[in-house]
Amino acid sequence: MKLTNRSPVAAPGRVLLALLCGAGLWGVRVAAAAKPKDAPAEGVTVEAEAGAAGKETPEQRDARMAWWRDAKFGLFLHWGVYAVPAGKYGSETNYGEWIMRSATIPVATYREFAAQFNPVKYDPMRWAQLAQDAGMKYIVITSKHHDGFALYPSAASKWNIADATPYKKDLLGPLVSAAHDAGLKIGFYYSQAQDWNNPGGAKSGFKEGEGWDAAHKGDYDAYLKKVAEPQVRELLTRYPIDILWWDTPMYMDAKRIAPFAALLGLRPGLVTNNRLGGSFGGDTATPEQFVPVTGYKGDWETCMTMNRHWGYNAYDQDWKSSADLIRKLADICAKGGNFLLNIGPTAEGEFPPACVERLRDMGRWLRVNGAAIYGTRAGPFVQLSWGTATRKGGKLFLHVFDWPADGKLKVPLKNEAKSAALLVAPEKPLAVTRESERLVISVPPAAPDAVDSVVVLELEGEPVTLPLPTVGAQAKASAEQKGSEAANVFDGTSAKRWRAPANVKSATLEIALAQPATIAGFGLDEPDVWPRMRQAYTLEVAEGEGWRKLAGGPTDGHGLKKNLTPVTAQKFRLTMTCEKGAPGVAELQLYRAE
């Protein structure tokens, strides 16, 4: 992660990193080449002015981030030697890009896979075209993942595509050129701290300098100085990239991040994320594998797989549907974020067919509805039972997932409407009436799109919505840690949270609203920690002298949002149970009916 004080999302990133780095681990997921044409001449070096990025004004930052904020949709590529075993080692078939660490494969054994990494079907122009056809605006590819293997010729480590494989050609340069030729931005993922092959690189779950094989044990600072720093310099001076995406900042304190931060001056205009380490907050927060229920403040980007693995796994057919991915894109944009959707190419250099199918489906939807995604900002609503909403100036784009059976789309706004129309039929205005504190749009009987139909609503003035029923609410916990009190669930951010003490497995929050309200849904964010807190929840409403259950079930550690049969009340109770850690909630919201 790259963490700087200038990032508006630095605070939650620092909280997460303090937890991870303080524990000394990030966690184990079970889950002679031609020189690039822009490489500096021999003997020429480019020096960065340390801390130059910190002198940036807010206006300069806005100008630098403008393309990224408008882009909304990008392609993540996890590619490397781990594509050779394709998820299998021994009898286990549930591995991805963490296979070397998860199976504790010896260095010599793992390096044998490189002899079979020969991506002769790699066609960077086709990759760029598929991304473009999918409606993506940028690409991020793993230049070096935690196994230490570099997809380009590196003078800092022989464990690279040119020196360790039969392919012997740079993989990154051609993709950079193809992306830019297609009008796409492109960036590199770089694992600066972890390296399971080169001696001294951090190993998840091991103390600094340690590992599971004597061949990769060594001095961490020596690794940073001799491998990681030179490789970052190579990447920034050889390739005209637009993004640098750090990952897993193990043991990265202020002294260790300083040389990397200084190197960023080599590529003016670069966009970086919050995974470099320490207090260096970067430009973007990076929720992984989930869409935060309450969103994040500032610039953020959900990165997510199409199935259960980042790297290619030939045995994983648990694919998200195209409809699910389209709705996730809309929901992320409605909260002000970007969507970085991952593919793990094969060892031969091809995208799995299921991935291509989903890219094409998303591209077809975006060619019709792109105006409701690109260049938009977060909508004004915290919740809409029928979908979500993005915004562009005075226009709201209402993404309707569940088309109203009665032909009445209810929008909780106090404003008057200037106009309303389907995005696909702007010449046919829709009637808009008012019912109390909501607008009602009369829509056709059938949805134009079964996945996500967009209604464009133009308003008079800034959108004015009703406050959440939980504004001004009081929360009382049956148990809480100091600094993680119950009141944090209503503070409007997931950066702070309520947590029970470590020895408590089940705890409750009693919620008293400022006044009775009709509640038709709820959402909760769980603490953003690794490994994920998989909990069980029960939401109840006070009824007579007791409590009546409204909803319950398991969480996935990322939070959840659900509609409810409307109930009018003032007191509610949430019970959280966590068998492998202290139960907790980062943010809780109760929603009115539209």
Q: What is the DSSP string of 503-539?
A: T-SEEEEEEEEEEEEEEEEEEEEPP--SS----EEEE
Which range, of 19-33, 254-268, 286-300, 409-423, averages the lowest pLDDT?
19-33
Q: Are residues 147 and 289 in the same domain?
A: yes
Q: Quick one: tokens of 402?
A: 């569940």
Q: Are residues 305 and 442 in the same domain?
A: no
**Distance, CA of 142 to CA of 140 (rounded, Å):** 7
What's the pLDDT tens digit per position in 260-300?
999 999 999 999 999 999 888 999 999 999 999 989 999 99
Mean pLDDT, the chain, rounded, equals 91
What's the pLDDT tens digit per position in 55-64?
889 999 999 9
- Look at residue 165 and give its three-state secondary structure: coil
Whether 586 maps to a domain, the answer reads yes
Which range, of 205-214, 221-230, 242-251, 289-298, averages the lowest pLDDT?
289-298
Q: Are residues 274 and 206 in the same domain?
A: yes
Confidence grade of residue 3 (pLDDT, cut at 50, 70, 90): very low
Q: Quick one: tokens of 564?
A: 């409810």
Biggest CA-to-CA distance, the chain: 81
Whether 4 maps to a domain, the answer reads no
Q: Are residues 115 and 207 in the same domain?
A: yes
Q: What is the CATH number of the domain that holds 112?
A: 3.20.20.80
Q: What is the CATH number of the domain that holds 531?
A: 2.60.120.260
Q: Are residues 23 and 149 in the same domain?
A: yes
The domain total for the chain is 3
Which pLDDT score is estimated for 34? 36
Which pLDDT score is estimated for 54? 58
The sign of the CA dihedral 317, 319, 322, 323 is positive
Q: Find how far residue 113's CA is from the centre of its chain.
A: 30
Q: Are residues 448 and 497 in the same domain?
A: no
| pTM for the predicted model, two decimal places | 0.90
By residue range, what is the domain housing residue 545?
Answer: 474-592
What's the pLDDT tens digit per position in 140-166?
999 999 999 999 999 999 999 999 999
Q: Are residues 328 and 204 in the same domain?
A: yes
Residue 233 has pLDDT above 90, yes or no: yes
Q: Are residues 59 and 128 in the same domain?
A: yes
**CB-based contact 248:275 (threshold 8 Å):** yes
Show which of 428, 459, 490 is a domain's final residue: 459
Q: Are residues 453 and 578 in the same domain?
A: no
Q: Are residues 156 and 263 in the same domain?
A: yes
The C-alpha angle 273, 583, 292, rounded to 5 degrees, equals 35
Residue 564 parent element (H or E): strand 560-577
**Distance, CA of 587 to CA of 482 (rounded, Å):** 17
The C-alpha angle 495, 496, 499, rounded to 5 degrees, equals 130
Whether 259 maps to a domain, the answer reads yes
Q: Are residues 85 and 155 in the same domain?
A: yes
**Distance, CA of 196 to CA of 391 (rounded, Å):** 44
Residue 363 parent element (H or E): helix 353-369
Q: How, if at all, do strands 584-585 and 498-499 pair?
A: antiparallel
- SS3 readout for 10-35: HHHHHHHHHHHHHHCCCCCCCCCCCC
Q: What is the CATH number of the domain that holds 432?
A: 2.60.40.1180
Whether 39 maps to a domain, the answer reads no
